[in-house]
């Protein structure tokens, strides 16, 4: 798998090195903005880095990498898991960039006790994003998967909106559940990692049935 990750990095560096500047710029902007003002840029820095595996898959499809890889000693499981590992590396890197930028650019204006829950939440959002989109990409490919990604994004946004509406009533079951989750920061990343693991198993099952010629 190390060789696959190195291949993906070389593809990113050769084909998308300019795109690497975007999450760095967003992280720098978030570091210059105090408190929650920079959370939007922190989130997008992580999401953009989490999207790089999809970019690599798209380039692989264009260059028929899957056909070539079938002749090499890589299992389809390794092919799938390498993309998930790349996504997690991107998510962690995005969170790390935000911490470094804030530490150097605006250390006195930021409460690290307040920033920690934000970083945990952003990490979880990155995991959830990856968990939902990767099986779609492995099933339909990048080009066909774009439409499904839009549909999925609308459904997720609608679901979050509905959840938020139901949570307005402070005696509701949803409100009580959300307060329970917020009571421990460990629940969020654990839930994100578990969802990511289940997604990886689903993607392996989908990809193992695909034939390349």
Count of structural domains, the chain: 1
Domain of residue 98, residue span: 1-212
pLDDT at 169: 55
User: pLDDT, tens digit, for every residue of 29-55?
Assistant: 888 876 666 777 888 888 889 889 988
User: pLDDT, tens digit, for every residue of 132-156?
Assistant: 889 989 988 887 777 776 676 666 6
Low-confidence stretches of the chain (pLDDT beneath 70): 34-37, 107-114, 149-150, 152-185, 212-213
pLDDT at 101: 85
pLDDT at 203: 95
pLDDT at 65: 84
Distance CA 106, CA 33 (A): 7
Is 0.85 surpassed by the pTM of this model?
no
pLDDT at 149: 67
pLDDT at 179: 59
Q: What is the DSSP string of 115-147?
A: HHHHHHHHHHHHHHHHHHHHHHHHHHHHHHHHH
């Amino acid at each position: 798998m190390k060789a696959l990750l190195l291949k993906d990095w070389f593809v990113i560096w050769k084909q998308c090195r300019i795109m690497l500047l975007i999450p760095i710029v967003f992280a720098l902007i978030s570091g210059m903005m105090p408190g929650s003002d920079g959370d939007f840029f922190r989130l997008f820095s992580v999401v953009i880095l989490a999207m790089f595996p999809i970019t690599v898959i798209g380039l692989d499809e264009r260059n028929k990498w899957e056909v070539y890889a079938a002749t090499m000693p890589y299992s389809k499981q390794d092919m799938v898991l390498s993309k998930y590992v790349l996504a997690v590396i991107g998510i962690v890197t995005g969170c790390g960039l935000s911490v470094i930028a804030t530490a150097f650019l605006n250390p006195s204006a930021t409460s690290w006790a307040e920033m920690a829950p934000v970083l945990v939440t952003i990490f979880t959002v990155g995991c959830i994003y990856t968990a939902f989109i990767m099986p779609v990409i492995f099933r339909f490919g990048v080009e066909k998967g774009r439409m499904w990604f839009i549909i999925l994004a609308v459904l997720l946004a609608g679901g979050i909106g509905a959840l938020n509406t139901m949570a307005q009533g402070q005696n509701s079951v949803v409100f009580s559940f959300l307060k329970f989750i917020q009571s421990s920061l460990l629940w969020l990343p654990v839930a994100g990692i578990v969802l990511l693991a289940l997604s990886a198993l689903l993607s392996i099952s989908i990809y193992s049935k695909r034939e390349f010629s």
